[in-house]
Amino acid sequence: MRIGLIGAGKIGQLRARTLREHRDTQLAAVYDLNADLASKAAAGSGAVVAKSLEAFFDVPLDAVVISTPVHVHDAACLTAFARGLHVLLEKPTSNTAAGAKKLVDAALAAKRAFGVGFNLRYYPAFRCVRETIQSGRLGKLDHLRVYGGHEGLPKFAHEWEYKAPISGGGAMWDVGIHMSDLARHYLGEISEVYGVATESVWNVPGSEDNALALFRSPAGVTAAYQATWTEWKGYGIFVEAYGDKGMVRGAYAPMSNLLVLQEKAGAPRTTTKLRYPWIQLREKCFSWQTTALQSFREELDDFLLLCKGRRDLVIADGYAGQRACEVAEAVRECSRTRAVVKLPVLGTMPA
């Protein structure tokens, strides 16, 4: 597939590498406002380094990968669908739920694949959680705990990353957007939201530094969620799933799993710990980016299958992108009204 890349910053450079290296893709064009970064991403691939978005879309393409800041996702994404191209778009897909839905509507109208970069789904610890739930080893799934946090504003290099309304909001639109997606990935759907968002630590108007919420699936399974910019211990994310026969925890960083199983009440419990030493060694030698890169490789494999019409995949689709934005808005709305927000079931986008 001939794939173009828009946005060649920190994430775009990793995306470019996956496109250059994959046996079934050709990096055909790159566009970034910063021409040096575009050239760096294209190096050695023969890709056209476009001088404008118009020139980029003049190159014959089958699909585009978009890794620009969120407030400029729309223009590139809508143009791509209007031109009949498949799209893999970074998270969050938009800085409003309405904007996210507009992108989904454009994909549906164009009948093109819409993949979303919720790459944590591919991290081994979080895959393990999903596979354990699906295996039935936990028994009947009762509830989840999902958590994502870091120390907040010192983490950011640009205002678009944290200033609402450019960013969409605060912790829920940043690290939290991955966690609400993982909750939906495990629950199947999030159809009710209740929560509280506060912005009393960093005092960025409209950008919550903490959000505590409860989500429910249509089957009544609950997830307790926190997204925070006041995690003074530093970056960390985890998910835990509890059933009537045990629990599984997936965490990063470092990558790890804990599995506790009890076949029957009163029976002895078994505990299994996974530490992924090769990932920890690789990150120590070559940085966390190696783990992100591996997840982008696996996500690209899935994206190619998504473009061929497969839907039984790990990759997030446009509905996942839309629901994650809706959930973030719902928590803020609930924080004002103190009323549960109900959301319709979206499911999976059609082939």
Ranges assigned E (strand) in the chain: 2-6, 26-31, 48-49, 63-66, 86-90, 114-117, 141-149, 192-198, 210-216, 222-228, 236-243, 246-252, 256-261, 270-274, 316-317, 341-342
Q: Smallest distance, Å, CB 15 to ligand NAD?
A: 9
Residue 182 has phi, psi (to 5 degrees) of -65, -40
Q: Which of residues 56-85 bind ligand NAD (CB under 6 A)?
A: 67-70, 72
Query: How many residues touch ligand NAD (CB under 6 A)?
Result: 23
Compute the chain's Rg from CA coordinates: 20
Residue 325 in contact with ligand NAD, rule: CB under 6 A: no
Name the minimum Å distance from CB 223 to ligand NAD: 20
Q: Give the shortest CB-119-to-ligand NAD separation in angstroms.
A: 5
Binding of ligand NAD by 250 (CB under 6 A): no
DSSP state, 92?
S
Q: Is 122 a binder of ligand NAD (CB under 6 A)?
A: no
CB of 222 to ligand NAD, least distance (A): 26
Tell which positions 291-320 bind ligand NAD, by CB under 6 A. 292
Q: Which of 5, 28, 30, 37 binds ligand NAD (CB under 6 A)?
A: 37
d(CA 124, CA 41): 27
- Encoding tokens for residue 194? 């209740």
Q: Which is nearer to ligand NAD, 70 or 328 (CB)?
A: 70
As given in the structure block, the two tokens for residue 38 are: 């575009």
The answer to the question of residue 33 lying near ligand NAD (CB under 6 A) is yes
Question: Whose CA is closest to 129, among 117, 141, 118?
Answer: 141
Closer to ligand NAD at the Cβ: 10 or 284?
10
- Which positions lie near ligand NAD, rule CB under 6 A? 6-12, 31-34, 37, 67-70, 72, 90-91, 117, 119, 158, 292
